[in-house]
């Protein structure tokens, strides 16, 4: 019996054999839904849609925001799906309320960041919110940090997670750590006194591509390029980085944009690899095929509304920048597929949270395609001086993988991501280099070009940023302007930029 995504208002609740272990579920609390607010995810997504613009990449918009919430701390909410053959299945949400933990000392440090301090952090973040609404993003981070600064580490701070207005499917949003730039998130998740992780970050591996391949095979849709990318992901990403000169994050966003955008990128991007062009075309065909599936038709109005809202935002942004709006179209197919993927993603995370709770673990943060659990559960590194950034343990990750395989028949890998941040705690401000981007700048990539060195912010000139790289270290010179150093490449047409 197939499992589809029909909302709970359209069916009665009963339990499918595959997920009968779910048991009783709690209902959502009442009350009017608050004003919708866009939240942005780590992976570059904007609300429900992960196909937003990133480095000039075309994509579509989606719905985020908050609705009604219910349930207690680490409780699970129920979700009903209408079956293809007249039956129905019960799915579970991740917890509607989670208690989040962060180092109070480091949170107080973040709460004191000025807007100028925050600019370099926002610049290296892949979140559109940080770039398009810098002041609003800074204010939100400061307000969030103040909550943790005023909380005791042993008690934490409680946050609610909600679906968008009028929906009980798709991603759940919150004003919690999920919307905080990753460098700050990694910074506050380490205890300042003990230097031990407070939370363990668990993520689904290559989540949306794995879900899309699973759906294609389930419904008999051709997906050869998608399977090839899933099996040789790093190889294809490295090839695209070499071909385009883009950074690792940009290349990751390009593949996600191909999955979530109906517009093929070959006409607006140069130096693409033959595989990426074929992958992009295949994803466009998959989007159209999934839109024909009857069980997902009820999602179409939501996708159309999200795509049209995002289109109007793009038009307003281009008018503000005095750019043409010709050629812009609503990304309905991409938004539709992304909403399907986000709905399954949320269901998988709900079962993963339930499995973790059954193991005596405490989910503390919903990260869309993963979660953070209380405590330090990372395995010991093979090299204490250079620990791996992505690791697997022998207990938690296999248990989550087996739970999803048993319930849904999907081979979804899980891994742990170690916290890392270039921020360094001090009593009198940010210090030490922003080392994360030092080496790429010296070698090849100058997409962002921000470095922090003893309270000095280094910025690229307009010409260097346009070139996208610096040929040699000797070709760059530094011009000190107060607290800032401007990188100039020595080209006569170079134009300096301010902060």
Mean pLDDT in residue range 305-334: 86
pLDDT for 249: 82
Q: Which two structure tokens, joined as six digits, stand for 153?
A: 């580490």
* pLDDT tens by residue, 188-234: 999 999 999 999 999 999 999 999 999 999 999 999 999 999 999 99
- 3-class secondary structure, 280: helix
Compute the average pLDDT of residues 337-358: 96
What average pLDDT does range 387-405 have in this prediction?
93
For residues 82-90, give the mean pLDDT: 43
Report residue 303's pLDDT band, with 50, 70 and 90 as the boundaries: very high
**What confidence category does residue 293 fall into, taking pLDDT thresholds of 50, 70 and 90?**
very high
Q: Are 373 and 204 in contact (CB under 8 A)?
A: no
459 phi, psi to nearest 5 deg: -115, 145
Task: Report the pLDDT value the prediction gives residue 375, as an integer from 0 to 100.
Answer: 95
State the pLDDT at residue 113: 84
Please name the residues in contact with 34: beta carbons below 8 A apart, sequence gap of 6 or more: 66
Q: Taking 90 as the threshold, does the pLDDT of residue 396 lie above it?
A: yes
* Residue with more model confidence, 420 or 236: 236
d(CA 50, CA 62): 8
**Predicted local distance difference test score (pLDDT) of residue 165:** 84
Output the average pLDDT for the chain: 73
Q: What confidence score (pLDDT) does residue 124 get?
A: 67
Show the tokens assigned to 27: 């209902």
Q: What is the pLDDT of residues 277-290, one digit of tens each?
A: 999 999 999 999 99
Q: What is the pLDDT of residue 482?
A: 36
Domain boundaries, the chain: 34-78+90-429, 435-488
**Average pLDDT for residues 341-359, to the nearest whole number?**
96
Residue 27 has pLDDT above 80, yes or no: no
What pLDDT does 5 receive? 45
In this prediction, what percent of the chain has a pLDDT beyond 70? 64
Q: Tokens 């499995």 — which residue?
A: 355
The 10s digit of each residue's pLDDT in 139-155 is 999 999 999 998 888 88
pLDDT reported for residue 9: 38
Mean pLDDT of 391-405: 96
pLDDT for position 176 = 94
Q: Which long-range contacts (CB under 8 A, 24 or more apart) does 192-198 make?
A: 192/103, 192/105, 192/106, 192/425, 193/105, 196/376, 197/376, 197/378, 197/418, 197/419, 198/101, 198/102, 198/103, 198/153, 198/374, 198/375, 198/376
Q: Given this model, what pLDDT does residue 84 score?
A: 38
Q: Which residue has the higher pLDDT, 25 or 305?
A: 305
Lowest mean pLDDT segment, chosen from 7-11, 103-107, 221-225: 7-11
């Amino acid at each position: 019996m197939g499992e589809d995504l029909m909302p709970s208002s359209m069916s009665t609740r009963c339990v499918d054999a595959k997920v009968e272990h779910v048991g009783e579920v709690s209902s959502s609390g009442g009350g009017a839904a608050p004003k919708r607010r866009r939240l942005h995810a780590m992976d570059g997504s904007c609300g429900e849609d992960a196909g937003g613009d990133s480095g000039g990449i075309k994509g579509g918009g989606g719905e985020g925001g908050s609705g009604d919430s219910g349930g207690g701390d680490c409780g699970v909410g129920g979700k009903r799906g209408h079956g293809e053959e007249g039956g129905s299945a019960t799915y579970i949400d991740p917890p509607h309320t989670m208690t989040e933990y962060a180092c109070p000392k480091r949170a107080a440090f973040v709460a004191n960041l000025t807007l100028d301090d925050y600019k370099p952090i926002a610049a290296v973040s892949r979140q559109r919110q940080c770039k398009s609404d810098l002041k609003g993003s800074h204010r939100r981070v400061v307000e969030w940090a103040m909550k943790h600064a005023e909380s005791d580490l042993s008690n934490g701070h409680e946050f609610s997670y909600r679906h968008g207005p009028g929906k009980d499917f798709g991603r759940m949003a919150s004003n919690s750590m999920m919307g905080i730039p990753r460098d700050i998130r990694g910074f506050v998740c380490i205890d300042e006194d003990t230097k031990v992780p407070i939370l363990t970050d668990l993520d689904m591996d290559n989540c949306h591509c794995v879900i899309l391949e699973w759906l294609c095979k389930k419904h008999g849709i051709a997906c050869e390029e998608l399977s090839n990318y899933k099996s040789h992901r790093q190889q294809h990403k490295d090839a695209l980085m070499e071909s385009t000169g883009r950074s690792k994050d940009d290349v990751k966003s390009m593949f996600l944009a191909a999955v979530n955008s109906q517009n093929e990128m070959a006409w607006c991007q140069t130096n693409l690899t033959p595989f990426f062009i074929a992958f992009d075309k295949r994803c466009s065909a998959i989007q159209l095929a999934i839109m024909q599936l009857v069980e997902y038709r009820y999602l179409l109005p939501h996708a159309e509304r999200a795509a049209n809202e995002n289109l109007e935002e793009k038009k307003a942004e281009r008018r503000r920048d005095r750019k043409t709006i010709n050629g812009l179209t609503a990304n309905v197919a991409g938004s539709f597929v992304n909403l399907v993927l986000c709905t399954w993603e949320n269901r998988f995370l709900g079962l993963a949270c339930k499995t973790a709770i059954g193991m005596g673990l405490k989910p503390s943060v919903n990260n869309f395609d993963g979660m953070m659990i209380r405590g330090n559960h990372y395995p010991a590194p093979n090299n204490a001086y250079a620990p791996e950034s992505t690791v697997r343990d022998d207990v938690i990750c296999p248990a989550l993988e087996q739970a999803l395989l048993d319930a849904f028949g999907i081979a979804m890998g899980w891994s742990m991501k170690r916290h890392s941040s270039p921020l360094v705690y001090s009593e009198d401000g940010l210090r030490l280099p922003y080392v994360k981007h030092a080496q790429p700048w010296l070698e090849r990539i100058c997409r962002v070009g921000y470095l922090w060195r003893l309270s000095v912010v280094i910025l690229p000139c307009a010409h260097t940023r346009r070139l996208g790289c610096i040929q040699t270290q000797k070709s760059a010179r530094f011009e000190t302007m107060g607290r800032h150093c401007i990188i100039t490449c020595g080209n006569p047409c170079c134009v300096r930029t301010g902060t």
